[in-house]
C-alpha cells in the first residue's frame, strides 16, 4: 500500500509539473475603426497621371444605395465630385466627375460606380488626369 501511495504521489507530482509548463497564449485584438453596423466601405487605389497616389471611396448599407463617394489625392486633398450620368438595367453604371486646382496641377477626376442594391456596389474605374497650371 505504501508503495502504491508513493507511486501515486510521484505520478501526480509529475503530471502537475508537466501541465504547469503550458500557459495559454495571449490573445490580442487589433483596434479597428468602428463603423455603424452594416456599413460597407469600398475603396479603389489608383495613381494620378502625374504619379501621385489616390484613392476613391464609397460607402453603402447592404440593400441600399451608396453614399459618401469621394476621391482623395495625396498631398492635394479631396476632389469634389458631381454625378454626370446614370444608366439603368440589372446593373447600374453611375459616372462621377470632379475638378480640383492643386498647387502646380489641375486635377480632373473620373469615377465609375457599378452594381445595384441587391448585389452591392463597386468602383469599376477611377482616374485623375493632371494638367500643369
**pLDDT digit string (tens) for 37-73?**
689 999 999 999 999 999 999 999 988 989 889 999 9
**pLDDT digit string (tens) for 64-81?**
989 889 999 999 999 999
Distances, alpha carbon 21 to alpha carbons 16, 57, 121, in Å: 9, 49, 51
**Residue matched to cell numbers 489625392:** 73
pTM for this prediction = 0.70
Sketch the domain layout of the chain as residue ranges: 39-132
Amino acid at each position: 500500500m505504501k508503495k502504491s501511495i508513493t507511486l501515486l504521489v510521484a505520478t501526480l507530482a509529475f503530471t502537475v509539473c508537466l501541465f504547469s509548463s503550458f500557459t495559454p497564449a495571449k490573445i490580442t485584438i487589433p483596434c479597428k475603426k468602428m463603423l455603424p453596423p452594416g456599413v460597407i466601405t469600398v475603396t479603389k487605389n489608383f495613381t494620378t497621371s502625374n504619379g501621385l497616389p489616390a484613392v476613391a471611396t464609397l460607402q453603402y448599407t447592404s440593400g441600399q444605395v451608396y453614399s459618401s463617394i469621394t476621391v482623395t489625392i495625396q498631398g492635394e486633398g479631396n476632389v469634389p465630385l458631381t454625378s454626370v450620368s446614370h444608366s439603368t438595367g440589372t446593373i447600374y453604371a453611375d459616372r462621377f466627375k470632379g475638378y480640383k486646382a492643386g498647387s502646380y496641377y489641375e486635377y480632373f477626376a473620373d469615377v465609375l460606380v457599378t452594381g445595384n442594391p441587391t448585389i452591392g456596389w463597386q468602383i469599376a474605374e477611377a482616374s485623375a488626369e493632371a494638367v500643369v497650371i
